[in-house]
A and B are shown apart, each in its own frame.
Chain A
């Protein structure tokens, strides 16, 4: 059995819990989304730990330049304001695209979940009451994914491993806001 078939057999079990098709679809989709969130959170924690110093440097530099540009503006020093703004522009570009690495680390499992759902549920329309419109599996997955993210953010500080990461992130955010 290939890996994809194995994944298919596992994921489809989430859709057979109560025996009620509609309820099972939404519960199953929520559980698949939750799994995608957990795997994504695990990967992003790895990237964060490995790249923390680099991100720190980028963010500190950006924050410094931004403070400087504001100070220059206050003092009416247009030349310094333009110079700091230009430098901050450069720093922001780097920080922004570094975020891409983090967002990729957090979101990649969601796309595999969508790939799997496409095979299973493409072509099924979910009618929106009173509108005559219908949405597809992508829409229902995104809704469930957002709910799963909200749910996970509330429970992660009680889970092993994520508890430690959560503490580290809190400390990091506290330090960042002080600097």
Chain B
């Protein structure tokens, strides 16, 4: 190639590069947006994040003149209280008929039905701090809803003296560690997309468990357990001589605690209970769920304790981890709360939980589970793809 030709190409390339840079620079100037510059009367970290967000009426912008919506932010979706009540009736209905899946539906309400997710997401590029802060607010709102049952359960079990307090202490301490660590470490750092993706993955796992329960193998194992329990029940029907006794701790050590209950001795390793508490509370706090559905199988299946002891104790562990996690999200991470939204949802939930028991008898358990498997696959796939790949693979 001739030298002159090379020079021409080099010159053209340089000019092209300059043109691109000039265009880029003008683009930067053109895209530079004015920040809100004021907290618009919103306190704390939310106010600081609002002040840094760009002004405008588009996506990922704050319009200070717009009517105030969720969390008191101008332009945020206004929570339609009727929709919120109706959705919460559905959540309450699920809680009272199927159980833990209600927590997932509460999350779906916050993210999708009320439109908070689609509104929060564009702030990822324009105001990342606000995006992450509102993600924490959604996580905390979910936790309020799914963790409240633990409050009344704990009070009831306390009254009935049915809390295995050595186990409760070990589990509770662990859950405090997990419920402080996760909000402190991830509060203000997890974008809404990431959260949505992980939430989708979690829904898949719950859906998988439900799916197993509906398979012939899952059904057979359930049936076998039911029959074995019934047969045993029959065999000891005439021996009802159990007297109520409290828990008596018979041996203390760092790796072995023994206690007697109803005259039967139980033992557990407090270190494992502590570790279990840390892990379960960490998962619950990250996903914004209650955690009861994890504590109970962990204590019955892995630690090997009877339900009699596990029931109240796990309720207490959920309560401790919920209180800790919510407090840390609000105080350390600065998550904002929309108290009115939660109040409205609670009204819906108690209406739903009154309807649930009355309609349950008309729908066989297996069909309910199948319905929720389909829902879990749909919701899980939608959130997983939206969160991690930026586009929902199913309409949502």
Contact = CB atoms under 8 A, between A and B. Distances in A.
Interface in A51-94: 51, 54, 62, 64-75, 77, 79-89, 92-94
A47 B343 contact: no
A144 interface: no
Interface stretch (A11-19, A25-33, A98-106, A158-166): A98-106
A51 B352 CA distance: 12
A123 interface: yes
B353 A101 contact: yes
B339 interface: yes
B11 to A, nearest CB: 62
A156 B200 CA distance: 46
Given A98-B96, A112-B340, A86 B346 contact: no
A69 B306 contact: yes
B239 interface: yes
Contacts of B337: 114, 118
Contacts of A87: 225-226, 229
Given A68-B233, A89-B296, A93-B99, A104 B353 contact: yes
A164 to B, nearest CB: 20
B158 interface: no
B391 interface: no
- Dominant secondary structure of chain B at its interface with chain A: helix
A104 B262 contact: no
Contact of B242 (A70, A122, A123): A70
Given A93-B99, A99-B152, A83 B228 contact: yes
B236 A71 contact: yes
B126 interface: no
B43 interface: yes
A14 B83 CA distance: 32
A38 interface: no
A92 B353 contact: no
A117 to B, nearest CB: 8
Contacts of B225: 82-83, 86-87
A26 B359 CA distance: 45
A101 B89 CA distance: 10
Contact of A74 (B233, B263, B300, B347): B263
Contacts, number: 180
A68 B236 contact: yes
B67 interface: no
A99 B356 CA distance: 13
Contacts of B231: 80
A85 B148 contact: no
B354 A51 contact: yes
Interface in B128-170: 146, 148-149, 151-153, 156, 159-160
A84 B352 contact: no
Contacts of A118: 72, 337, 339
B301 to A, nearest CB: 8
Nearest to A57: B357
Given A50-B354, A102-B152, A112 B233 contact: no
Interface string B219-253: 00010111111011100100100101000000000
Nearest to B318: A96
B308 interface: yes
Contact of B308 (A70, A86, A101, A123): A70
Contacts of B72: 118
B78 to A, nearest CB: 14
Contacts of B263: 74
Contacts of B293: 93
For the complex of A and B, 8 pairs with smallest distance between CB atoms: A101-B353, A111-B343, A83-B228, A100-B149, A88-B307, A108-B346, A54-B357, A115-B339
13 contacts: A47-B354, A66-B306, A66-B307, A66-B311, A67-B308, A70-B262, A79-B228, A85-B300, A93-B293, A97-B102, A107-B151, A111-B339, A114-B337
Interface of A: 43, 47, 50-51, 54, 62, 64-75, 77, 79-89, 92-94, 96-112, 114-115, 118, 122-123, 138, 173, 177
Given A85-B300, A99-B149, A111-B339, 20 more contacts: A51-B357, A66-B311, A67-B308, A70-B261, A71-B236, A73-B306, A83-B226, A85-B306, A87-B226, A88-B311, A94-B96, A97-B102, A98-B356, A100-B92, A101-B353, A101-B354, A105-B350, A108-B343, A108-B350, A109-B343
